[in-house]
Amino acid sequence: MEKSFSEKKFASLIQRTLLAGVFLSALLLFAGFAFTVSGAPAGTTLLRAGILALLLTPAARVMMLIYGYWRGGEHYFALASFVVLALLGLSILV
Amino acid sequence: MMPELNALNFSVLVSFGVFIGLLGSALGVGGGIFMVPFLVLALKIPIHQAVAASLVAIVATSSAVAAVNVERGLANIRLGITLEVTTALGSIAGALIASRLDAGAVQLLFALMLFPVSALMFHKGRKGPAPQAAPAAGPASAFDSAFFDPALAAHTPYKVKNMAPASFISFFAGSLSGLLGIGGGIVQVPVMNLLCGVPMKAAAATSNFIIGVSAAASAYVYFRKGLIPLELTAMIVTGVLIGSFLGIYALYKARSEKLQLVFSALVLLVGIKMLLAAL
């Protein structure tokens, strides 16, 4: 098992992914409200993008898990994460 | 009739979102249990759209809270990702079933689900905090973990057992989530705590971690079917994000037993109202 990619670094990678998704979503939503209130047509698009950014955050987190477990040599958990990502992909298609 | 984006609706829905976010992050009480009835009974939103909005809000709370729990080492990620496989499968199934049921049937199922939830909360409130699980004997597994418990000021290692039945039950927790727009922690936390032997705090954090993915999986199904009410959801989610972060940092140590009793009564009341509205 490769030790250079420590548990701590892994946790911080996941944390940063989640926070980035949440803040991006909040930013888009606020911009969306501002545009909607001022009557600009971009408002709806921004609100939709904000909701999408939020909904994609867990998927991004699962991608980071695949990367982290693969790098750490824990292939079983990398595979489990991959299956979860595949299921998320499937749920968009059904 | 969807609420329009105006100052009144904005402040009401954002405030409601803050309340839900606080509940979810400070007390670990699922927001969906209150959000769906609020949208259906008070705002007359069709239940499928209420469920969809609730799922998006659950993704928001889960992501905000998980970011902090992962850093604290509370959420058991290996356990979480493994249970996510069956939970996600279940939540997709639940969302597909819901899209084939009419509003009355979903509402009735929701109302019926609230009664055992109320009883469970009442029980938890009466009993006080769950006793610490005794360190389990048995073979070591890759799921075993440890965390620092600030209340005990101690490093708390634990073993994880019974993964096969836990994965099986997680499928149903996921289905319930996708069908009714609740997180599913009400099933997931006791399963991890009682069946797997995970200490309560770690079980709650891991459940929150799992819920983000399962709620997203069913939310994608609702999104594809065009059932997410955009402005309404955006307003609630904004509040939920604010409430979640406030809850994490401000009310981290809130004692929840008394509140559990209050909420169990509230859930019972909501259950009766939902039942009457469905019949």
In the structure, what pLDDT confidence band is assigned to residue B136 with cuts at 50, 70 and 90? low
Nearest chain A residue to B217 by CA distance is A88
Query: CA nearest B179: which of B240, B222, B212, B234?
Result: B222
In angstroms and rounded to an integer, the radius of gyration of the C-alpha atoms of chain B is 18
Check if A67 contacts B (Cβ < 8 Å): no
On average, the pLDDT of chain B sits at 87
Asked if B257 and B125 touch (Cβ cutoff 8 Å), the reply is yes
pLDDT at B85 over 90: yes
Nearest to A51 among B56, B71, B213 (CB): B56
In the structure, what pLDDT confidence band is assigned to residue B135 with cuts at 50, 70 and 90? low
Residues B97-115 have a mean pLDDT of: 94
Highest mean pLDDT among A79-88, B154-163, B198-207, B252-261: A79-88
> Would the CB atoms of A14 and B237 count as touching at under 8 Å?
no
In the structure, what pLDDT confidence band is assigned to residue B255 with cuts at 50, 70 and 90? low
Phi, psi of A50 (to 5 degrees): -65, -45
* Per-residue 3-state assignment (H helix, E strand, C coil) for chain A: CCCCCCHHHHHHHHHHHHHHHHHHHHHHHHHHHHHHHCCCCHHHHHHHHHHHHHHHHHHHHHHHHHHHHHHCCCHHHHHHHHHHHHHHHHHHHC
What is the predicted pLDDT for the residue at A53?
97
User: For B102, which DSSP code?
Assistant: -
d(CA A27, CA B203): 31
Check if B64 contacts A (Cβ < 8 Å): yes
What is the predicted pLDDT for the residue at B217?
96
Asked if B255 and B28 touch (Cβ cutoff 8 Å), the reply is no
In the structure, what pLDDT confidence band is assigned to residue B253 with cuts at 50, 70 and 90? low
Highest mean pLDDT among B129-143, B186-200, B243-257: B186-200
Check if A47 contacts B (Cβ < 8 Å): yes
Place of tokens 């994965």: B167
Residues B212-217 have a mean pLDDT of: 95
d(CA B226, CA B214): 19
> Would the CB atoms of B5 and A37 count as touching at under 8 Å?
yes
> Would the CB atoms of B228 and A51 count as touching at under 8 Å?
yes
Residues B232-258 have a mean pLDDT of: 80
Task: Extract the tokens encoding B50.
Answer: 């209420």
In the structure, what pLDDT confidence band is assigned to residue A2 with cuts at 50, 70 and 90? very low
Residues B225-249 have a mean pLDDT of: 91
In the structure, what pLDDT confidence band is assigned to residue B134 with cuts at 50, 70 and 90? low
In the structure, what pLDDT confidence band is assigned to residue A41 with cuts at 50, 70 and 90? confident
What is the predicted pLDDT for the residue at B250?
61
What is the predicted pLDDT for the residue at B171?
96
d(CA A11, CA B142): 17
In the structure, what pLDDT confidence band is assigned to residue B259 with cuts at 50, 70 and 90? confident
What is the predicted pLDDT for the residue at A1?
42
Residues B192-210 have a mean pLDDT of: 89
d(CA B172, CA B97): 13
pLDDT at B269 over 70: yes
**Residues A5-25: pLDDT tens digits?**
788 888 899 999 999 999 999
Selected residue of A7, A55, A56 to mutate for chain B interface (largest B Cβ count, 10 A):
A55
pLDDT at B127 over 80: no
Instruction: Determine what percent of chain B is predicted with pLDDT higher than 90.
Output: 53
pLDDT at A32 over 90: yes
pLDDT at A80 over 80: yes
pLDDT at A4 over 60: no
CA B144 to each of CA B71, B89, B201: distance values in angstroms, whole numbers, following the listed order: 18, 24, 15
d(CA B110, CA B160): 32
pLDDT at A79 over 90: yes
What is the predicted pLDDT for the residue at B231?
92
Chain A residues in contact with B78 (beta carbon < 8 A): 74, 77
